[in-house]
Structures are given as C-alpha cells and as structure tokens.
Structure 1
C-alpha cells in the first residue's frame, strides 16, 4: 500500500482539525496516512511515497534547518509537496520583488536590501515592518512614520531581511482575501476579517473567516499570479487586499497554508483527488 506522511510540528503532533479531514479520503484511496514531525531526527522519510507539508508552523524559527530538510527531497524518490524548489523559493518573501518586476501588482514594498531613506517612508502615515522569513504575523509591527527614527528603524531591521509596506486601512476594514488553487485550478476562497481595532487576520488574534466568492476579473488576476509564481505547485494560496487601486498581492503561500477545509469540506476530497492523480515513482511495498 502507498504511504503518505503529513508533515507537522511538535505543537501539533496529531495535526490540525482541518487537516484531519483529509485522512479518510486518502485512506479510501488505499494510502496509509501518518503524521510526522518535520524536524524529528528519528523520522524515516524514505519509507513514504509522498510527504505532504501541512502544519510545519515553526519553520521560520529554524530557517536553515528547514531548508536542509526540504533539500533532502530534491533527489529523493519520495515526492515532497509542494516540490522542494518551490518551497525553498517561497520561504523568503523577497520573491515579491521578482513578481513586481514581472508585472504583478504587489503591496508597495521597500526591501531592506535596498537603500532606505527615512524621509521616503513619510509619504505613508503608518508602515508595517515584517520579516522576509515569517508566518502568522511573527515580529510584524506597525509604526507611525512621524515618530519613526533612524535608531528605531535600525534596531528593527538591523539583522536579517525585512519588508516595509504602507499600512492599508482596507485590511483593518475589509480584511484579506485568500484564493486557493490546486494544481493551478481555482478551488475556493475566503475573506479573513480582523477583529475591531486590529490588523492581523489570523484566528489566534480574533479574526473571522468567511466564505468569499471572487469576481471573474479577480480570479483571472489570481490565476495569473499562480501561473507566474506557482507553476507546478500542487497547492497555492493567493493572499491579497482589495484597494482603490485594485487587488494588491500580499503573498502567494505555497509552504504550509491553511486551506480552510472546515468551510469547504468538499475541497478536501478534491485536494486528495489532485494529489492521488500525480505521478510518483516506485511505490513502497
């Protein structure tokens, strides 16, 4: 029987409730399903036909270790999903610079690798400063540019890579839109609305997740982003904000995104179907 591992982390050894919805679908297809902690040195990844990254939610705290783990699958007969090359590139948000150069409308961004003029930031009332390797709003802060000094900025972005973006009131008011694609095909979408007075769109900060029906124009934009940045991805989540200037990309998440199967249970079955249809070499007995 083929074997699939759902890669998770130490805080969720038995997976999220969302990801548990996948298990019966894979078992119906004849797979043996196991939850494996991604950085457990005792794990034997070669025993699996497929390793599906689901809730490796501490990867950004151990970026070098995570990159080494992902690289194990580059020449392996075990198929990592998404593919190692996609995961490695997507783990550092400076990929947004490349997307911008390719014509994707991203949230206006200043990258810490560039020369930053403090006065240039004052064209925005507030800025959001976030790490280039991060998840779940980790170390993300909002600063009033009027009171932002060189000392404060240097202490924030002195080490590592960072993104500086304008604070968008639209996020606080209408939230963020997430559109999910499986093998390049649109599946479903949600709207993540922060609690009153907050800007963070994660549930642990009190945000609400609602079903969302994107327009045809918005879907075309999202599909184009996936074709540019996520070609070959088994799953991709396009996150962005609707503004007076149209849809602005926040990120395309292809590592361990929540896929919201609780809101769209049928999508779990479709996702399983898409994975089972993929070719994988020499199934282990």
Structure 2
C-alpha cells in the first residue's frame, strides 16, 4: 500500500485533533498513514510516497534545519505537499513584497534587512514589528511611534529580516479573516477575534474563532491571491483584514496552517480529495 507520512513536531507526536481526522479518510482510499516528527533523524523519508506537512509548528525556531529538511524533497521520488519550492518561498514573509508588486493589496509594509530609521516610521501612530521568519505572533510587538526611540528600534531589529506595518485598529474589533482553499477551490472560512485589549488572534492568547461566510467579492479576491501566490498549492490559507479600504492581505499560509475543521463538516474530505488529485 502507498505510504503517507504526516509531518508534525515533538510536542504533538500524535497530531492535532483536526489532523487526526484525515487518517481514516486516507486509509479508506488505500493508504498507510503514520505521524512522523519532522526533525527526527531516524525517519527514512524516502520510504514514503507522500510527506504531508501539518503541525511542524516549531520550524521557525530551527530555520536552517527546516530548510535542509525541505530541500531533500526537491527532485525526490517522495512527494512533499505542499511542494518544497513553494514551502521554501512561503517560509520567508518577504514574499509579500512580490505579491504587492503583482497587484495584491497588502497592509502597507516596510521590508527591511538593514537598520530601520525611526524617522521613516513617523507617518504612522502605532506600528507592528514582526520577523520575516515567524509563526503564531512569535516576536511580534506593537509600538507607539511617539514613544519609540531609535535605540529600542535598533535592539528589536538588530539581526535578521523584519516587517514593519501600521497597526490596523480594525483588528481589535473585527479581528482577521482566514479563508481556506484546497486544490485551488474554496472550502471554508473563519473569523479570528482577539480578546479585549489584545491584538493577537491565536487561541493561546485568548482569541475566539467564529465561522465566517465571505461575500462573493471577497471570495473572488482571495481566489485571485491563491492563483498568484500558489497556483499549484494543494492547500492555502488566505489571512487578512477587512478595512474601509477593502480587504488587505496579511499572509498566505502554505506551510502548516491550522485548517479549522471544527467549523466545517466536509473539510477533511475536501482536503484529502485535493491531496489525492495531485498524485
């Protein structure tokens, strides 16, 4: 029987509840399935037909190791989903600059690999600074520009690549919208609302996840982003915020996004169908 490895990390050796839902569906389609920890050196990845990236949620803490792990699947007989090339590109948030150049509306962003001058940030009252390689709001902070000093800014962005964006007040009230696409087709969407007084939209910070029904126009915008950012993606999650200027993209998640199957009955089946269509 063909073999599938579902890649996870050492804190979730048995996968998340959502990812566990995929196993019986793959087995019904004739596949042997096992969860495998992505940085376990004892795993023989070449013994699998498919390696499906799911909860590799510590990859940003081990960027060199993760890059090396992903690179081994380039030109390999083992199929990585999403593709190695797509994952490598998506792991660094400077891909947003390319999307903006192709006409996608993103949050206004300063992309920096060098010293950031405080004077250039004074066009905004409040800013968000986030690393280009990150997940789950890791090292993401909000600053009041009039309270920020060059020294604090330098210490924050001393090494690595960074994104600086204006803080959007809409996030405090309406949160973010996440739209899931499997095989390029829309599956379902949720609204992630932060707890009062916070801006982070992850559950570990008290956020609420609500089912969301996007408008026809919003779906068209999101599908266009998928076409531009990852036309060959098996799965993609479009994260953004609805503002008075329309929908602004925050991220395109094509590595290990939470799929929010608790908000859709048929989501796991649609996901597996998209995976198997690629084979």
Normalised-by-shorter TM-score class: over 0.9
Which whole-Å deviations, capped at 9, do the CAs of 1:172-208 have from their partners, x for residues lacking one?
Answer: 1100000111111111110000111110000100111
Q: Which runs of 5+ in 1 are unaligned?
A: 280-285
1:262 is paired with a residue of what secondary structure?
A: helix
1:208 alignment partner in structure 2: 208
Which whole-Å deviations, capped at 9, do the CAs of 1:236-263 have from their partners, x for residues lacking one?
Answer: 0000000011000000000000011111
**Aligned-pair Cα RMSD in Å:** 0.9
TM-score, normalised to structure 2, is 0.98
1:164 alignment partner in structure 2: 164
2:134 alignment partner in structure 1: 134
Q: What is the correspondence of 1:183-222 to structure 2 with a 5 Å cutoff?
A: 183-222=183-222
CA distance in structure 2 between the aligned counterparts of 1:116 and 1:151, rounded to whole angstroms: 11
Instruction: Tell me by how many angstroms 1:115 deviates.
Output: 6.5
2:276 alignment partner in structure 1: 276
Q: Which runs of 5+ in 2 are unaligned?
A: none
Which whole-Å deviations, capped at 9, do the CAs of 1:109-166 have from their partners, x for residues lacking one?
Answer: 0111367431231221110000000000000001110011110110000100010011
TM-score, normalised to structure 1, is 0.96
CA distance in structure 2 between the aligned counterparts of 1:84 and 1:277, rounded to whole angstroms: 18
CA distance in structure 1 between the aligned counterparts of 2:278 and 2:92, rounded to whole angstroms: 27
Q: What is the correspondence of 1:1-285 to structure 2 with a 5 Å cutoff?
A: 1-113=1-113, 116-279=116-279
Aligned length: 279
- Relative contact order (alpha carbons < 8 A, sep ≥ 6): 1 or 2 greater? 1
Q: Give the conservation status (yes or no) of the 8 Å contact 2:117–2:150.
A: no
